[in-house]
A and B are shown apart, each in its own frame.
Chain A
Amino acid sequence: MGRIVVEVMPKPEILDPQGKAVAGALPRLGFATFTGVRQGKRFELEVDGAVTAEHLDAAREAARTLLSNPVIEDVVRVATIEEVDA
């Protein structure tokens, strides 16, 4: 089974209330070094067998049409997930 990761982030100019809330909470927990937080989404798409170029093209199309809204979000990554030995 192959897996493809699609990552979507709010556009830089779009207000990200979730990221702002997290950014506000970090200093209260002692994490004082982070000056900003943006919160996005990660999708993992599964396919039978190894990931092919066609699979990646389909993932890019899905990312463009359904997984993101280009008015407010950017697709920042579409890539094969390489299985890592534990």
Chain B
Amino acid sequence: MTASSAGARIGVVTFPGSLDDGDARRAVRLAGAEPVTLWHGDADLAGVDAVVLPGGFSYGDYLRCGAIARFAPVMTEVVRAAREGLPVLGICNGFQVLCEAHLLPGALIRNERQRFVCRDQRLRVENATTAWTRDLTAGATVTIPLKNGEGGYVADAATLDALEAEGRVVFRYLGADPNGSARGIAGITNERGNVVGLMPHPEHAVEAGFGPDGPRGPRTGTDGLALFTSVLGALVAA
């Protein structure tokens, strides 16, 4: 099946405690696709062309961030479809869920300085070939909001070396590392490039008037929209 960008349907999963599912659906709509609401208890993905796991505090972040959400009924299908190539984007809590689900390596731990960090964050785009970054340019700087308490990316040295060698670091923090993440890693992808997880929130930088400050003035930043338009191009190319 080939999806055209006009008819693309992108599912956004709501877990108990998800916060940014509404913003993610809005970002999907602004990118030109149809957002589809998926529920954590759903047993299927309603035939969507891609899935977004949004930010928030799934299941209250009890046990560990994302650990309980990983076992939600909908995740069985997300994991199966992701392994077959379905584009999946995990933002913040969604990134934590992807790590707990073993779709991405490593884990996210409490910020090094014990503080919840909320700010506009500059990132360097390291990989512009994934399903979610093909409308960006490698080496470019983007600014999107960051807000998390447990955003420190960790993995063993061999995993970090492999991520670097295979070009699977997708975004890196510019300036001071806000979370104490290993090697300044803000986002990574799987080997196939269809699954991307990142801590900052592209869905909060998709519409002038509501995003970070940009070169055209206060709250004009819309760098996050490129992730959502990227996947439409990836679907057409698929």
Contact = CB atoms under 8 A, between A and B. Distances in A.
Interface in B124-166: 152, 154-156
B114 A17 contact: yes
B235 interface: no
A25 to B, nearest CB: 12
B128 to A, nearest CB: 27
Nearest to A10: B109
Contacts, number: 36
A50 interface: no
Contact of A14 (B99, B105, B154): B154
Interface string A60-85: 00000011010110000000000000
Secondary structure type dominating chain B contacts:
loop
A20 B99 CA distance: 25
Interface residues of B, number: 20
Interface stretch (B1-9, B63-71, B82-90, B204-212): B63-71
Interface of B: 63-64, 67, 71, 99-100, 105-107, 109-114, 152, 154-156, 180
Interface of A: 10, 14-15, 17-18, 20-21, 66-67, 69, 71-72
